[in-house]
Structure 1
Amino acid sequence: MTPDTSTVFDINGLFQLLQLGGPVVAVLVVMSIFGLAMLLLKLWQYASVRVGRRAFIEPALEQWHAGDQAGAIAALAEERNPIADALAVAMRGMRAGADTAIVREEAARVGSRHLSSLRSYFRPLEVIGSLSPLLGLLGTVMGMITAFQQLASAGSQVDPSVLSNGIWEALLTTAVGLIVAIPAVVTLNWLERVVERLHEDMQDTLTRFFTRHDTLLEPRSDTAATGGNTVQHAQATRTSHAY
């Protein structure tokens, strides 16, 4: 059974790249492997919680405001999206008769916990994206120094091929650094945008829930206030008549 020649060539090319680039390219290759692993991990995490799903929000809010509070909470319990979890916390708190300010804080805490989990590994990706070009530039500078040292040691017997080979080998580390950095930066910006959009939608959903809830309670408070003013007016009338 003959081995796959493409695999052999790929392995040989990788070893040749490491040999030409030296330890700087080896570090960049390791960083690229870690960056790819973190990207796959984040994709799995985002897919597991369905960060892009929003279809459950409107039915749950309508069901709650229609009076089916238990049904709305049960429907949200079947969702794995962080917005559903934060909204369910708010609904359970209001259904239990807790203070609105406390319920708001608890829903915000739960949402913040989910967002913090979704932002995990952002800092390592940021480090890879910013450090890879610098490492590539460092390898290039070191390679250029070596090339000019060889040129100086050759004296009058200068061979242009020696200098050109040294220069392209030195520039190789910069190219590898950019190849590692560009996908890391693009990935980080995309992940940050996904979390930012989720945060905006979570705030919008919770604000709509609490605003509608407070609006429904306003007529009761106005009636109570009117009743209180009527009692005070009657007391004042009786006092004036007494005098």
Structure 2
Amino acid sequence: MPNPLTTLVAADPVIVVLGLFSLCALSTVLYKLWHLFIAFRVHRDNTDPAFALLGQGKHREAKMRLNTPKGPRAQLLSAGISLAASGALPQPELRNELLRQARLSAQHMASHLRILEVIANLAPLLGLLGTVLGMIDAFRAMEAAGSQVNPAILSGGIWQALLTTAAGLLVAIPVSLAHSWLERRVERETMALQNDLERFLGLYAAQPQLRNSLATAPTPETTHNAVAVP
């Protein structure tokens, strides 16, 4: 006797679509976990030592500290040091440029989260659609049978129809939780970017010697053979 679940999957396109949704959501969640935790965590520790070096007046060492593979926070701080050293932008324009780069980094961190949001919203609706279509088929079969209605056939059609709603909820609930959690992580990373930006601009405005030393600090291209500060 064939498995009813196998028969349902083979016959109901809604279940197939929900299965594709679940695979897409799983792939997206795994990618974002790598993106937000592994890739960022490897290099996020560059920024705090660099800020400490800037506060001690060791501006060249701070700049060399960031000449390593870096995440968004280190990239933003490195860009701020480079722009400040060039002296091409006054402080208001420097702030605007760093804000623009911070927004681009935040958008990159939030990429692919919309996929999870769409799946979380559509999955229960697709499940409900499958249930409605299954109920229509069940009642059409009951109408066609007339007075010869078999309750077993009707109840079997109804539970199979309701199974699509259960499948939609099983997809939507974990995807919604994952989306909310990852979205919160992105918000925290974005707040860290904003904090780093304000911290650097505060140092730059409060310490004239910082501006002077950055203007004479070597560029990354001229210091790529130097020994980095541990």
CA shift, 1:108, in A, is 1.9
CA shift, 1:80, in A, is 2.1
Q: Distance in 2 between matches of 1:61 and 1:195?
A: 22
1:104 aligns with 2:112: no
> Is the 2:50–2:65 Cα contact (8 Å) retained in structure 1?
yes
> Is the 2:14–2:126 Cα contact (8 Å) retained in structure 1?
yes
SS at 1:74 equivalent = helix
Corresponding residue to 1:18 among 9, 29, 51: 9
Q: Which one-letter code corresponds to 1:204 in the other structure?
A: N
Q: Distance in 1 between matches of 2:198 and 2:5?
A: 54
1:207 aligns with 2:198: yes
- Equivalent in the alignment of 1:176: 167
What TM-score results when the alignment is normalised by the length of structure 2? 0.80
> Is the 2:44–2:70 Cα contact (8 Å) retained in structure 1?
no
Closer, same or farther in 2 for the Cα pair 1:158/1:115, shift >3 Å? same
CA shift, 1:115, in A, is 1.8
Q: Distance in 2 between matches of 1:51 and 1:123?
A: 23
What TM-score results when the alignment is normalised by the length of structure 1? 0.76
Q: Distance in 2 between matches of 1:77 and 1:114?
A: 18
> Is the 1:130–1:181 Cα contact (8 Å) retained in structure 2?
yes
Q: Distance in 1 between matches of 2:168 and 2:96?
A: 45
CA shift, 1:53, in A, is 6.5
Q: Which one-letter code corresponds to 1:167 in the other structure?
A: I
> Is the 2:8–2:160 Cα contact (8 Å) retained in structure 1?
no
1:49 aligns with 2:77: no
User: Which sections of structure 1, spanning at least 5 residues, go unmatched?
Assistant: 1-11, 218-243
- Equivalent in the alignment of 1:241: none
Closer, same or farther in 2 for the Cα pair 1:155/1:28, shift >3 Å? same
CA shift, 1:51, in A, is 5.0
> Is the 1:69–1:95 Cα contact (8 Å) retained in structure 2?
no
1:81 aligns with 2:80: no
> Is the 1:89–1:106 Cα contact (8 Å) retained in structure 2?
no
Corresponding residue to 2:182 among 191, 194, 197: 191
CA shift, 1:176, in A, is 0.9
Corresponding residue to 1:38 among 19, 22, 28: 28
CA shift, 1:156, in A, is 2.3
Q: Percent identity?
A: 40
- Equivalent in the alignment of 2:126: 135
Higher relative contact order (CA 8 A, sep 6+): 2
Q: Which one-letter code corresponds to 1:64 in the other structure?
A: L
User: Which sections of structure 2, spanning at least 5 residues, go unmatched?
Assistant: 209-230
Please give the per-residue CA displacement for 1:15-51, whole angstroms capped at 9, x wherever unaligned.
434135x111111111111111222222232245315
SS at 1:164 equivalent = helix
Is 120-129 or 104-113 further displaced after alignment? 104-113
Count how many residue pairs are aligned between Structure 1 and Structure 2.
206
SS at 1:67 equivalent = coil
SS at 1:156 equivalent = helix
> Is the 1:143–1:169 Cα contact (8 Å) retained in structure 2?
yes
Closer, same or farther in 2 for the Cα pair 1:16/1:156, shift >3 Å? closer
- Equivalent in the alignment of 2:49: 59
Larger gyration radius, structure 1 or structure 2: 1
Cα RMSD between the aligned structures?
2.3
CA shift, 1:79, in A, is 4.9
